[in-house]
Amino acid sequence: MKSLFVFTPSISSDFGQNYVHLGRELKLELKQLLAKDGILIYPTYPEPPPKHMSTIVKLPNISYTTAISTLGVPVTNCPLGLTKSGYPIGLQIVGSPFNDRLTIAVANELEKAFGGWVSPTNIVC
């Protein structure tokens, strides 16, 4: 069965094409930097997690995740525990293309060292 709707994004402006070109250059630079066995440890968010739907007033803060996500490289989020106020914190482990196994292995080791995921509340079943 043929699809009735096919989304094919096109960027016709020079402005848009410039950003596409910059994105490709950044992805190539990151790939060269990380090679086959490099990783980048990057914050998930620059402050404790905000309340639901409040990131809209702090859009620059989401650049920590969107910048890496748009590059199409493997990323594993690693929980590290809770802040003194009880908010979850973590890091992103970024790897070169098709190197998911390495990002997951590093995240597992960091999780062991820092305590990993901790429930912010008591769970009663």
Give percent of the chain above pLDDT 90: 29
Q: Is pLDDT at 12 greater than 70 in this prediction?
A: no
Average pLDDT value for residue range 31-38: 92
d(CA 24, CA 38): 19
CA–CA gap between residue 110 and residue 116 (Å, rounded) = 8
Identify the residue whose tokens are 């973590």.
90
**Per-residue model confidence as pLDDT tens digits over 68-103:** 888 888 999 998 888 888 888 889 999 998 999 999
C-beta neighbour count of 20 within 10 angstroms: 11
- Higher pLDDT, residue 36 or 49: 36
- Look at 5 and 119; give whichever has higher pLDDT: 119
pLDDT at 6: 55
pLDDT at residue number 10:
61
Q: What is the pLDDT of residue 103?
A: 95
Check whether 8 has a pLDDT greater than 60: no
Least confident of 2-16, 19-33, 85-99, 100-114: 2-16
